Structure 1
Amino acid sequence: MKEELSANYWQGRYLDQNTGWNAGRCTRPIATYIDQLQDVKLKILIPGCGHGHEAQYLYEKGFRNIHLCDWAQKPLNQLQEKLSELPANHFHQGDFFALQETKFDLIIEQTFFCALPPSLRPQYAQKMASLLAPSGQLIGLLFKFPLTEAGPPFGGSLAEYQQLFSPHFAEVQITDCYNSIKPRSGNEYFVQLRP
């Protein structure tokens, strides 16, 4: 197992407060998407949830069928205290690729994809497609800068993303993100993928 994917690696990042990806709140593009959702019964997954700002935003809007997955136990423990109405079995500590829960109506991607070693991207696309309900979708943000070895975070291009997702999703929409937070402005795509 690669060091970047180990529970110890990510737990250490949280304990050291080495969490540069943490925007401190639900970012504007994700919040804007959540604001237009009407069915609070949607079954939602946030992989690599970290501090769970998206989950907290959903929770404040009345969503309760939220599932959170992360390698690190510390942020999950903190979220269990904040999101006290969520059942304990909605907090999944461990390897995302071993997640058994399925058929989500919505998966929210926020800095999880970019943290994975790029060699795992085909497995990511396949796993995400398998987790979605037939009418479900994956939405979120992907970085728009050249893919290098100097990550995480790892970037990519529109062509790379389309080639990656097209075999697994019937509908692949990737557009320039118009409402990124300032530090990420011009460096993000907004994606919507449907099986």
Structure 2
Amino acid sequence: MAKPDQDVRERLRQHFADLPPEDQAGAWNAMWQQNITPWDRGLPNPALIDTLTNLSGMLGRPFKDPDDPSKSPRRKKALVPGCGRGYDVLLLAAAGYNAYGLDTSTLAISSAQDLANEPDRDSKYAPAIPSEEGGGRGEAEFLEADFFKDAFLAHTDGGEFDIIYDYTFLCALPPALRPAWAKRMSDLLSPTGHLICLEFPLKKEPRLGGPPHGLTCELYEQLLKQPGTEVKYDSGGYVIVEEGGVGRADGALTRVARWKAERTHEVGKGGDYVSVWMHLR
């Protein structure tokens, strides 16, 4: 007998099964309306908390010292596409970044804004660096917007984000949009920025479809070393790594760290990996 969580995921898969890729973004709001939100775990992912802590040296402080000492430091910017209720956005803001969450669902954005205004936010998302030490909380803004279009950039002081975080966004996309995902990540990431991917669900066979669609380490590598270029799949849905490899294209991102997450949401335990990517220099 199927478990309740499996039943919900099957309803999710069937909801998107017959929708063309260009229509899927608008269909997520219906899932929120029906309370079919298996991706919503009620708190930030512990793997992101650990990443921000353990890689603080690599990521640097969440603001840049101004050229003019009389001016306040400029906070770095973070972007979370497919943010849902925005737990990870609030975490990044508490870490000191001006954090922006995107979602195509009206209900998701409304829920995220409500969460940001809850009276216990200060205790749940305390600033990682106190104001008196030059830190303090960054802004958290939630935008109903399409990640693949530029309209939202008018609200984020342009592109060039210092951190982009992807957890369930790539696995929610139909495979046809994966090359566009990689190209967009490359275009929006600042020259010294970090793309943080929580690779999920690596334990799911790609042939089973989705969302969430099963992903592999090799898929991330192929997509990000040739942003915008189609990848080839075998009959099981696994990406084909061509013998001899493919060279890196302009805008390629290179992986600078990868590890198995010691802490993550229950659904990903034992299978989630964190990978960190940067532009080639």
| TM-score bracket, shorter-length normalisation | 0.7 to 0.9
Decide whether the 8 Å contact of 2:89 with 2:99 is kept in 1. yes
Could you say which structure has the higher strand fraction? 1
Q: Which runs of 5+ in 1 are unaligned?
A: none
Q: How many residues align?
A: 191
Q: Which letter does structure 2 place at the counterpart of 1:139? A: I
Task: Give the deviation of 1:127 after TM superposition.
Answer: 0.5
Q: Which runs of 5+ in 2 are unaligned?
A: 1-19, 64-74, 118-137, 154-158, 228-251
Rounded to whole Å, the distance in 2 between the matches of 1:121 and 1:98 is: 15
Decide whether the 8 Å contact of 1:4 with 1:117 is kept in 2. no
Task: Give the deviation of 1:149 after TM superposition.
Answer: 4.4
Rounded to whole Å, the distance in 1 between the matches of 2:22 and 2:224 is: 26
Rounded to whole Å, the distance in 2 between the matches of 1:132 and 1:50 is: 21
Q: Which letter does structure 1 place at the counterpart of 2:88? A: E
Q: Which letter does structure 1 place at the counterpart of 2:82? A: G
Task: Give the deviation of 1:55 after TM superposition.
Answer: 1.3
Rounded to whole Å, the distance in 1 between the matches of 2:100 and 2:209 is: 31
Q: Tell me what 2:78 maps to.
A: 44
1:101-120 to structure 2, matched below 5 A, reads: 101=153, 102-120=159-177
Question: Is 1:156 aligned to 2:215, yes or no?
Answer: yes
Q: Tell me what 1:76 maps to.
A: 109
Percent identity of the aligned residues? 28
Question: Is 1:171 aligned to 2:254, yes or no?
Answer: yes
Deviations 1:14-57 (A, max 9, x none): 11111101121111111112335432522010000001111122
Rounded to whole Å, the distance in 2 between the matches of 1:32 and 1:174 is: 13
Deviations 1:143-191 (A, max 9, x none): 2132124200011222222112122434224433333333211222211
Q: Tell me what 1:180 maps to.
A: 264
TM-score scaled by length of structure 2: 0.62
* Corresponding residue to 2:178 among 96, 100, 121: 121
TM-score scaled by length of structure 1: 0.86
Decide whether the 8 Å contact of 2:182 with 2:223 is kept in 1. yes
Q: Tell me what 1:91 maps to.
A: 142
Task: Give the deviation of 1:62 after TM superposition.
Answer: 4.3
Where 1:12 maps in the other structure, the secondary structure is: helix
The structure-2 alpha-carbon separation of the partners of 1:61 and 1:189, relative to structure 1 and needing over 3 Å to count, comes to closer
Decide whether the 8 Å contact of 2:224 with 2:254 is kept in 1. no
Bigger RCO of structures 1 and 2 (CA < 8 A, at least 6 apart): 1
Q: Tell me what 2:120 maps to.
A: none
Q: Which has the larger radius of gyration?
A: 2
Q: Tell me what 1:55 maps to.
A: 89
Q: Tell me what 1:21 maps to.
A: 39
Q: Tell me what 2:278 maps to.
A: 194
Question: Is 1:2 aligned to 2:21, yes or no?
Answer: yes
Where 2:43 maps in the other structure, the secondary structure is: coil
What root-mean-square deviation, in Å, do the aligned CA atoms of Structure 1 and Structure 2 show? Answer: 2.3
